[in-house]
Structure 1
Amino acid sequence: MPAKTFAADDLPWYEYATFLTMLAFSAFIGIYYGCFGSKQATPKEYLLGGKKMKIFPIAVSVALSQFSGITLVGVPADVYTYGAGIWLMCFSLVLVAISTIYIYLPVFYNLELTSTYEYLERRFDRKTRLFATVMYLLASNCYLAVVVYSPALAIATATGINVHLVSFIVCAVGIFYTTIGGLVTVVWTDMLQFIVIIGSLVSTCAISFGTLGGFSAVWNKAVDGGRLDIFDLDFNPTRRDTLWIILIGYTVQVFGQVGIHPTGVQKFIALPSFRASAWSVVYYVLTMCVVMTFCNFIGFGMTAKYSECDPLLTKQITRYDQLVPYYIKDIAAEIPGVFGLYVAAVFSATLSTISSSLNALSGVIYKDFVSNRLRSHVSEKSVTKILKLIVVADGIIFMLIVFLIKYLQGGIFGIAIALTSITHGPLIGLFSLGMIFPKANSKGAFYGAIVGLASIAAIALPSQYYTSTKLFKYPTKSISTDGCEKLNQTVAIISTMMTRNFTTPSYESTTSGVTTFEPHFLFRISFYNYTLIGALVTIISGLMISYATNKGQPGVNKILISPMCQFLLPKEDRIGCTSGEATVRMLEIKLEEKENN
């Protein structure tokens, strides 16, 4: 039987109180660390927590900054719609951890950079650094807007609250406590928010299993519905989420969010030793796997509940992104506080992403655009004030972008990945050229990144257009309305059309059935592959340009090359200097650091 619909008036006061309490505690933590104790008075305290952070809180903070509210809203709906292929990301995370710990993190940790993009100037030149920074700033602000708007829309639809009001409140709180408290506040609010998230996920799963016949019944329903057909060995890159696409494509995608991304690297190097940083990466993987497992279980619960009476087909919801809040209100309507806890969990994850991103953005913007325009002697207190102003300014910018996100259509999980992949691929390519390939030079890095960015944008943007206009749709798992009561004839007809197991992508005709439009092969490639493509194009084109222009280039300082790849350096260059403009700039940076100290 279809679940009843809900309105904002149906929610009792304590559901709102749970959400508001979480916001209040987050703000209080910011006030505590920003106004008492050291008050985050120096840049090192504000951006790196004085390098006195603890392993597990850092790991949790990195995990929360990665999965955001999109995960809690989008992943269960993704599992219900497309199956549990995303669960294979737990294997991807192991590969991400290995590459981060052994290849990239040692370089970042030894250099102790405020902005990871400083590395690109030391290894290549300033224009490469600025190009990478601009890509990062544009992508981060667009992604933050999606992170805020998408869960806000889902919750607003379920409660009747204005979506922009919800977005504004959450953004304002995140900007406030990040501004006054710095990294320490970000990490400890993340710990609070992690408790809220785990509480919501555990309670939702427990209620799901309790109301749907137990774990085995839910699991069997997921198996029968094809949601656990995840070990698909098809190499076809246009398939959405086969085993190979997740293990290869999604591994590179996640690495772009952790291994070289400022929000992750900044926290890893805030720990007092490299060993502690390595362990925090391990705990990050475990935390992510736990959260993703619970999200998959919720998706299985929705399969057991709705696979034979789909809420979208019966017009109970208007898009699948609303499915999770609808489901929780359905199964826990008589249990006080559960829906409020879920809302608090969604926005806890959202707040974590906002705060981590803003804190990292402030360091990047200051180091890359502001510091070299200030007079030579600026007090640490003044620098900290500038960092706080940058947080506020950038927060206002991405809040304005939120109002544009409503024009995007399609599943939020896919949109978020597509948006970030356009820049993550070239950025991974740049750092890989620098740390793995000693022969890469500044020309190869700069022009290789341009080629990589143009290539993946030429694929991702048309693909997103075809998806948003429904000219192209990925195959979904079987859904129907056969289990619903009192169906009218229209719903029955829709059910007949929609109840099927897809094995190939479906396309919609643009000429009323006369001819069928099929996008080019490139525009049907799974969005999980976008980052991989961008990285490979950047590396290959960068190496080709480097080898063509590498005559007479001086050696590379071994500290800029990953320890695992230093054997590629000629013996005479292993204690050499950086090339080109990077040689001069590195000396300038060292002098600046000496003066500041």
Structure 2
Amino acid sequence: MDAQLLYFSWVDYLVLVGLLCISIAVGIYYGCFGTKQNTTEQYLHGGKKMKPIPIALSLTASHVSGITLLGIPAEVYLFGTQYMVFPITVVWITITILCVFLPVYYKLQLSSSFEYLKMRFGHGTRSLASCLYILSTILYVPIVIYVPALALNQVTGISVHVISPLICAVCIFYTTLGGLKAVVISDTIQFSITFLTMATIFVIGTYLSGGFVSIWEKAESRNRIEFFNMNLDPTVRETFWAIVIGMGVTFIGNLGINPSSIQRFLSLPTYRDAQMSVVIFGVGTIITKLVSSFIGLIMFARYIDCDPLSNGSIKSIDQLLPFYMLDALGNLKGFPGLFVASVLCTALSTMSTSINTLALTIYEDFLKSKLPKNTSQNTINIVIKSIVVATGIIGLMFIFLIEKLGGVLQIGLSFHGLTLGPLVGLNVLGALVGGICSLVLTGVLVVGAQIYTLQGRMKPVPKSLSTSGCSFLNDTFVRTTTAIPEVDFNTPPGIFTLSHYFYSVVGMMLVIVIGLFVSWLTKSKDEPAVHRELLSPCIYRFLSKDEKHSDFVLYETVEKALIRVQSVKEEKSITEVLGNDIKS
């Protein structure tokens, strides 16, 4: 490979800088010239005047991080097409969110999804969930930023220590200045660029590899085609159950419970708009994931007999897609810049979403009740924007720690498994003791597995890779080099070999099992009945006759409250307007 392809041309730099300037311009417009973000409602929820398509694209962009963009093609390249059954996962997740979660959150119009936990289960459960989310996000954002920083370092030679602060500075600037509107519009633009890049790689890569049939035949010849591995062994890395159930629980936590998703749903003016945004998000996610997966097969077709990881052209599997872009498509002027810009897009969208929602969570769950009632709106705005800046800076500081840990993809999945499982369990059962026990036990599982991985005692074994077609390698190298790691027979305890796809399932089940046991031990006869409106409509049919009053009483009350808040232009939350109608 020509060494000059490793560096940007002036056209590539123009494309990259242009993207950053667009993001800054969006923040300046909404912060200074567009619709003013004078109230907390406008800053955090866009004044409830957002549109379904931008919200759906913003959600999709936030969930297509740099880890996803680089990780899924590499996963399919190494382990085959089992991941491509993910559309089944998305379908049942979408139905679950539409039927179980969205009706409750939109009906109550809560500023934070964790406020529901306080109303349903008490203050302790809400505080635990909020702390889990804050910790998870602060630790996850640096990984999201570090991955594209590595890609940019590879094609520019600029130090990661310079690139990372620049990315964070741009993101903090437009998020702080423009609020939710800036985040959503920037996400929409950035996702459009990302998808354009992926589509370009898909089309041109398919053509260069001889077409779809040729790509499929090459993958099939090396045992890469697999969709229904029904093995029930949870230690197998990828099975049908791991993708459909394991990833499903993770995505329920990411979309159905994550405050950033609920914040966007509540920024829409009507419930129908919120439903539409969920459906569009599902379709967009399916298309994005399938395109990413097929790019993995395209790369395998090109390197079927000359694996870049085995021959030393790349040091990490994370570098495979950037390497392919430079190797196969680098002669397209400006395309390397567009590719790296798309990776940066995913990082910017994920970070902006995260720090904007962190500001909402910290303010609503920890600071709002402690501020004097006569606190001015300007002071509240300063507090919220200060939180955005502070959380962004903390994330930047952790980047310098992440680079010393190694294995960013595995660390990212571990963080999700550590927190999302307990969060899903808390929302299903609300068991405080179960949540704490789940966090501790899942933490032992995740941290232990990570330690064994770093020690080399646990390594994933990919499907066959070959260097027999590498003309620049001598026979000795070909015979002795392999991408399959040596297995240390001093294997760790079996529980730590559990597939990382099941971490969230384990966390959720621990909350439910331990919570039910503790509830049975501590059950009291005089426990108050749960208000019907705090339950999902899909279980109304199972309630007693005394509880079966109109499904839409509180719905109509919330609609009227929204009109009252907007008509008097007061900064009040829905719970303040409704008072005891909700909290009784």
Measured in 2, the distance between the counterparts of 1:109 and 1:391 equals 25
Q: 1:451 aligns with which of 431, 434, 437?
A: 437
1:329-350: CA deviations, max 9, x gaps? 0011211011111001001111
Q: 2:540 aligns with which of 566, 573, 579?
A: 566
Counterpart of 1:470 in structure 2: which amino acid? G
1:212-244: CA deviations, max 9, x gaps? 222222222222232221321111111111111
1:519 aligns with 2:515: no
Q: Tell me what 1:466 maps to.
A: 452
Q: 1:428 aligns with which of 411, 420, 424?
A: 424
Describe how 1:477-516 pairs up with structure 2 within 5 A: 477-488=463-474, 490-495=476-481, 497-498=482-483, 508-509=487-488, 516=489
With 289-298 and 277-286 compared, the bigger mean Cα shift is at: 289-298
1:377-396: CA deviations, max 9, x gaps? 22333322221111001101
Measured in 2, the distance between the counterparts of 1:590 and 1:35 equals 28
Counterpart of 1:227 in structure 2: which amino acid? R
In structure 2, relative to structure 1, the CA distance for the partners of 1:542 and 1:373 (3 Å cut) is same
3-state SS of 1:267 partner: helix
What TM-score, normalized to structure 1? 0.89
1:536 aligns with 2:536: no
C-alpha displacement of 1:397:
0.6
Equivalent residues of 1:227, 1:477 under 8 A apart: yes
Measured in 1, the distance between the counterparts of 2:30 and 2:212 equals 43
Measured in 1, the distance between the counterparts of 2:282 and 2:521 equals 40
Measured in 2, the distance between the counterparts of 1:170 and 1:37 equals 24
Measured in 1, the distance between the counterparts of 2:574 and 2:78 equals 54
In structure 2, relative to structure 1, the CA distance for the partners of 1:4 and 1:233 (3 Å cut) is farther
Equivalent residues of 2:419, 2:439 under 8 A apart: yes
Q: Tell me what 1:319 maps to.
A: 316
Q: 2:394 aligns with which of 379, 393, 397?
A: 397
Equivalent residues of 1:507, 1:517 under 8 A apart: no
Counterpart of 1:531 in structure 2: which amino acid? S
Q: Tell me what 1:283 maps to.
A: 280
1:90 aligns with 2:87: yes
Q: 2:341 aligns with which of 341, 344, 349?
A: 344
Question: Any stretches of 5+ residues in structure 1 without a counterpart?
Answer: 435-444, 500-505, 510-515, 576-587
In structure 2, relative to structure 1, the CA distance for the partners of 1:518 and 1:291 (3 Å cut) is same
In structure 2, relative to structure 1, the CA distance for the partners of 1:52 and 1:562 (3 Å cut) is same
Name the count of aligned residue pairs: 556
1:313-359: CA deviations, max 9, x gaps? 21111111111111100011211011111001001111110111111
Question: Any stretches of 5+ residues in structure 2 without a counterpart?
Answer: 550-571, 580-584
Q: 1:546 aligns with which of 515, 519, 532?
A: 519
C-alpha displacement of 1:464:
1.6
1:479-532: CA deviations, max 9, x gaps? 11101013235522333x447xxxxxx7633xxxxxx21122211111110101
1:285-335: CA deviations, max 9, x gaps? 111111112211211111011121111221111111111111100011211
What TM-score, normalized to structure 2? 0.91
Q: Tell me what 1:237 maps to.
A: 234
Measured in 1, the distance between the counterparts of 2:255 and 2:58 equals 12
In structure 2, relative to structure 1, the CA distance for the partners of 1:380 and 1:567 (3 Å cut) is farther
Describe how 1:115-514 pairs up with structure 2 within 5 A: 115-410=112-407, 412-434=408-430, 445-488=431-474, 490-495=476-481, 497-498=482-483, 508-509=487-488
Measured in 2, the distance between the counterparts of 1:37 and 1:326 equals 41
Identity %: 38
Equivalent residues of 2:113, 2:259 under 8 A apart: yes
In structure 2, relative to structure 1, the CA distance for the partners of 1:59 and 1:228 (3 Å cut) is same
C-alpha displacement of 1:85:
2.1
Measured in 1, the distance between the counterparts of 2:327 and 2:383 equals 48
Measured in 2, the distance between the counterparts of 1:11 and 1:494 equals 35
Measured in 1, the distance between the counterparts of 2:321 and 2:152 equals 9
C-alpha displacement of 1:591:
7.8
Q: Tell me what 2:554 maps to.
A: none
Q: Tell me what 1:580 maps to.
A: none
Q: Tell me what 1:502 maps to.
A: none
C-alpha displacement of 1:548:
2.0
C-alpha displacement of 1:103:
0.6
1:27 aligns with 2:29: no
Equivalent residues of 2:44, 2:179 under 8 A apart: yes
C-alpha displacement of 1:561:
1.2
